[in-house]
Structure 1
Amino acid sequence: MRWEELDQEPCSVARALAVVGDRWTLIILRDCFLGVRRFDQFESRLGITRHVLTDRLKKLVENGVLAKVPYQEKPLREEYRLTDKGRALHPVIMALVHWGNTYMADERGAPLVHIHKPCGHQMHPVTVCSHCREEVTARDVRIEAGPGWKTTQTSPSDRQSTNR
């Protein structure tokens, strides 16, 4: 599997990583969820080179994760806003934050906490079944081939899982 060809793989994780799988892209998305929208804000907050930032923002726009929206007419100035597709990455970012807070924080604890606005309590993400609303762990999931699975591949249910 070549990095440049991840978007062609019959694997949803590989296809997603083709769009958001490098460290700068995830950090840019983190800042988007923190309300950063303008190129110069990203550049100053992240210390990223203009070339790399331009490349990552362009890729996110091309893939429909961000949209360029004018905020000034003369001269034309645009900012980057999360699309529905981009906002759908919120659970992914929250899961990474929770993992980082749990396993990577120092003795002081989490650098930021997330407060659920409606109830006012600190929260962490939980995965639940979309049907029964029960909490789901890795051991609670069985994998079966879906309609996008190539028939020439070994079925996912035929493989032995080593993480269960």
Structure 2
Amino acid sequence: MPAVQTENKQSVDTKAQILENARKLFATHGYDGTSIRQLTASLDITPAALYYHFASKNDVLEGLAEQLHDGSEALLQRIREFDQSPASMREALCQYYDLLADDIHVFRLVYNDAAIQHSPIGQRLRGQAREFYAYLVGPDPSVEDRMRAAGAVGIIRLSLEQRGVDPSMHREV
């Protein structure tokens, strides 16, 4: 393999390792409770290596948010093919729940971090949430349609925001 390809692959691998490690540390210690030193020491890399991939610890969090964004985009692509039947809407809500529950720690970090909420990735995530809500309410929604959609999304998000909750126990409810 040429040296440039090897270097690029190692760079991508290191970035992915940093994100995976950050996911674990942020889940255990919280975002504020995790230092750059902890992020680098547990991977046996230097702070310079981390800063090669991310300008700051907040950029690491944004990298995790980007992964949530990508999953949300895939969900939106799927539901664009759905009709407005109750069964399709239920399936959309189940897939939304699964998306958030599959990476519950990142979901909690992203939706509880004001800096992320105001960042470009936060803006894009909010746009995706609005698109999902628009699907749920359908064309020309009534007040009841809007309330049902807001209630369903709110219940999902609130149930997943609770600490100490096993997401698998809430899914079918």
Settle same-fold status: TM greater than 0.5.
no
Q: TM-score scaled to structure 1, two decimals? A: 0.31
Higher strand share: 1
Q: TM-score scaled to structure 2, two decimals? A: 0.30
